[in-house]
Amino acid sequence: MAKGLIIGGGIIGLSIGRELHKRGYEITVIDKDKVGYGASWVAGGMLAPQSEGLDVGDFLNFCLESRDMYKEFIDELEEETGVKVNFWKSGIFCPAFSEEEANKLMETLNKYKTLGLNGEWIRREELENKYLSLGKDILGGVLYGDDGQVDNRLLMKALRKYAFDNFEIVEETRVVRLEENNGKFVRLETNNGYIEGDFCVITAGAWSGLILDLPVFPIKGEMIGVDIDYGEVDRVFFSSKAYIIPRFDYSRLVIGATEERVGFKDGNTVKGVMKLFNGLIETFPHMIDKNIQEIWFGYRPGTTDLYPILGEYYIENVYIATGHYRNGILLAPITAKLITNLIDKNEGNRYLDIFSYKRFV
């Protein structure tokens, strides 16, 4: 069977590798660091096409289709690896902190309702009865019951296990260049020599633009994690202040995320962390007493139009799956299916046309 080289072992690379492996392909994953610790480790793990307030259109539909695939994706992976991933259709609540935000949320809710999507307005009084404290400016908000979350670190643990059990893994090896001959892929050049294969898939996240001439760049995000008591917050809160994510096992409350275009500038900043803490206590004032567990940051793979880049490249046997920006955890199942069908069956898809690299040429 053909040998596929996957450049970058994040959620996108490992999910594609897994689909291809199931169809009989031999897979090698090459990562400049350890597999599974890029943006996919750093993320919040929200599956939030509606809460994100995406405009009605192709990208929303793409995200909704992937959300529909999630349960099966996780059930299968848990079965294959024995690693429990804590997929949780917790619902996501979007609180309004002003009349203006309330109007905007209602407008989006009504647009989604015309598409037959679920959602409902929840009054402040109902929230006051439910939670230990509630920010004084919260007027109420919209609950999207079909949005949810997954513990992305557990998910990466499961995908890592699948990968180490079934693929060849080459870690701490940076791909620097693709070699081609007459427009056809030949091999990869790395800082540790050459790697041969029949085809390759570029899934290098925020670093993809350093390998191929693609408009992909890092959009930095900072995050914090604090203690939470069992049942204290039973769904994600997603607002202009911050998003607040209780893990299914109540081991942690994750708060995210800042967004900055500062290149690969490592480290957490005072202003970033302050914004997140303020967002937390403006939503739940009593949380000021919580213990801090961890502070971290990472790089979303952004593109100039903020949509992913998927499908064939102009070099034969080179495929791209990158630029998933804020929604790469959500979009892993659909990306893996479409890219695998393209490689395995030469099967096209309208999303591959819409999100082709050709839109930038």
Ligand X SMILES: Cc1cc2nc3c(=O)[nH]c(=O)nc-3n(C[C@H](O)[C@H](O)[C@H](O)COP(=O)(O)OP(=O)(O)OC[C@H]3O[C@@H](n4cnc5c(N)ncnc54)[C@H](O)[C@@H]3O)c2cc1C
State the residues that interact with ligand X by CB under 6 A.
7-13, 30-33, 38-40, 42-46, 174-175, 203-207, 211, 221, 223, 256-257, 298-301, 322, 324-330
37/131 with CB nearer ligand X: 37
Structure tokens given for 76: 């299968």
Q: Which is nearer to ligand X, 103 or 192 (CB)?
A: 192
Of the pair 105, 169, the CB lying nearest ligand X is at: 169
Cβ neighbour number for residue 117 with a 10 Å cutoff:
16
Min CB(291)–ligand X separation in Å? 21
Q: CA–CA separation, 4 vs 354, rounded Å?
A: 25
**Least gap, CB of 322 to ligand X (angstroms):** 6
Give the shortest CB-9-to-ligand X separation in angstroms: 5
CB of 35 to ligand X, least distance (A): 6
Nearest to 194 by CA among 173, 209, 210: 173
Nearer to ligand X, 95 or 328 (CB): 328
DSSP state of 51: T
**In angstroms, what is the minimal distance from the CB of 89 to ligand X?**
14
CA neighbor of 122 nearest in space, from 107, 106, 135, 133: 106
Burial environment of residue 229 by CB neighbours within 10 A (0 to 12, 13 to 18, 19 or more): exposed
**Tokens at residue 215, please?**
């408009």
C-beta of residue 353 within 8 angstroms of C-beta of residue 309: no
Closer residue to ligand X (CB): 40 or 108: 40
Phi, psi torsion values for 221, nearest 5 degrees: -135, 135
Least separation, in Å, of the C-beta of 111 and ligand X?
21
User: Measured from the CB of residue 63, what is the shortest distance to ligand X in angstroms?
Assistant: 9
Closest separation in Å from C-beta 225 to ligand X: 12
Q: Which is nearer to ligand X, 54 or 142 (CB)?
A: 54
Query: What are the strands, taking DSSP E only, across the chain?
Result: 3-7, 26-30, 46-47, 92-96, 120-123, 140-144, 148-149, 168-170, 175-181, 184-190, 193-196, 199-202, 216-226, 236-238, 243-246, 253-256, 292-303, 309-312, 318-322
**Cα diameter, the chain:** 68
Cβ–Cβ < 8 Å for 357, 311 = yes
133, 286 contact by CB (below 8 A):
yes
Whose tokens are 């660091």? That residue is 33
Q: Which C-beta is closer to ligand X: that of 235 or that of 326?
A: 326
> In the complex with ligand X, which residue's Cβ is closer, 38 or 225?
38
- Minimum CB distance to ligand X smaller for 43 or for 158: 43
| Residue 346 φ/ψ region, left for φ over 0, alpha for ψ in the -120 to 50 degree band, beta for the rest | left
